[in-house]
Amino acid sequence: MSEHRALVRARMFASELTTTVQSVLPDSPEFLARVNADATRLQLSPFEADGETAASMPLFIGGEKVAVWRLTMLLDLDSSGEYLKVTKSNFALSALVDRTPLVRFEFDDAMHTAPAAHWQFHGERGAFSFLLGIAKANHKDVKPHSLASLHFPVGGARMRPGVADLLEFLVRECGFDALEDWEQAIREDRARYRTIQARTIARDMQAEVAAVLKAAGWDVSPPADVVETGTKFLRGW
C-alpha cells in the first residue's frame, strides 16, 4: 500500500526543516517525524538516541557551546492527504547554566485564553511586577511573580514568524555562530514559508483577493459557491 500522502508531505517538511537548520547553525541534528498509530497526528523534532525524547540543539559563540534551543512542531494530518497543518509549535532558547528557558516563541492554534502566536520572556522587571500586583489586587487574572506568564502577541496564526525568523533571531540578535551562506538558507526558507501563508490567506479571503486582482488588471470570476473561512484569521488574537 502506498504511504499516506500527508505523511509523505510531512516527511518532506521534516527534510526541508533539517536542511534549513543545518545550513544555518553548526552541528545541528536531523529533524525526524513520529506519528501516532492511526496516522492522524505527527510530531517533528530532533530526537535523542532513544527515539522518543525531543533533543535540544547546540548553540555556539566563538566555537564554544554556550546555549541550547529546542523546536518541536505538532501537526494534524487528514485522511484525504491534502491537509497538513501545524497545530502547535514550541521554540525555546536556554543557557547551559539553567534549563529554564530565556525566551520562548509558541504557536497554539487552539488557544483561546492567550494569543495563538506569542513570545514569552523569562525575565523580571520590578516595575512591571508592581503594576501586575496592582492588577492582582483588583482581582485580575495575572501573575505578578512571573513575567514569563505574559503572552506577547505576534501576528496570529497566519502572520506569525516562521522558522527562518527564529533562526535569524538566534544569529543576528543573539550573536550565535552561524555557517557560511546562512543568509541564503534563511531567505529561501522564509520565501517558502511566506508563500504558503499567503496562499492560505488567499483561500481564507477569496473575495478580497479577487477584488485586488481585478484592480490589478486580472480577469477574475467567482465559482458557484464561494467558501470563505477568514473570520478566524481576521478576528483571532
Where do contacts with another protein occur on this chain (CB under 8 A)? 7-8, 10-12, 14-15, 18, 30-37, 39-43, 45, 51-54, 70, 72, 74, 87-88, 90, 92, 94, 98-101, 106, 108, 110-111, 114, 143, 145-146, 148-149
Cβ atoms of 86 and 45 closer than 8 Å: no
**Cβ-based nearer residue to another protein, 135 or 220:** 135
In whole angstroms, give the CA distance from residue 92 to residue 75: 18
CA distances from 90 to 70, 107, 143, 166, 213 (A): 7, 7, 22, 11, 36
**Cβ-based nearer residue to another protein, 120 or 177:** 120
User: Shortest approach of another protein to residue 7 CB, angstroms?
Assistant: 6
**Cβ-based nearer residue to another protein, 32 or 210:** 32
User: Shortest approach of another protein to residue 85 CB, angstroms?
Assistant: 12
User: Shortest approach of another protein to residue 185 CB, angstroms?
Assistant: 17
User: Shortest approach of another protein to residue 8 CB, angstroms?
Assistant: 7
User: Shortest approach of another protein to residue 145 CB, angstroms?
Assistant: 7
User: Shortest approach of another protein to residue 209 CB, angstroms?
Assistant: 32
C-alpha cell at 146: 512571573
Of 83, 92, 86, the C-alpha closest to 170 is 92
Of 85, 71, 75, 70, the C-alpha closest to 41 is 75
**Cβ-based nearer residue to another protein, 53 or 79:** 53
In three-state secondary structure terms, 223 is coil
In whole angstroms, give the CA distance from residue 16 to residue 129: 41
User: Shortest approach of another protein to residue 216 CB, angstroms?
Assistant: 38
CA distances from 94 to 54, 97, 117 (A): 15, 8, 20
**What's phi and psi for 84, nearest 5 deg?**
-140, 110
Helix (H) or strand (E) holding 137: helix 126-137
Helix (H) or strand (E) holding 233: helix 230-235
**Cβ-based nearer residue to another protein, 133 or 220:** 133
**Cβ-based nearer residue to another protein, 147 or 202:** 147
**Cβ-based nearer residue to another protein, 97 or 226:** 97
In whole angstroms, give the CA distance from residue 51 to residue 33: 10
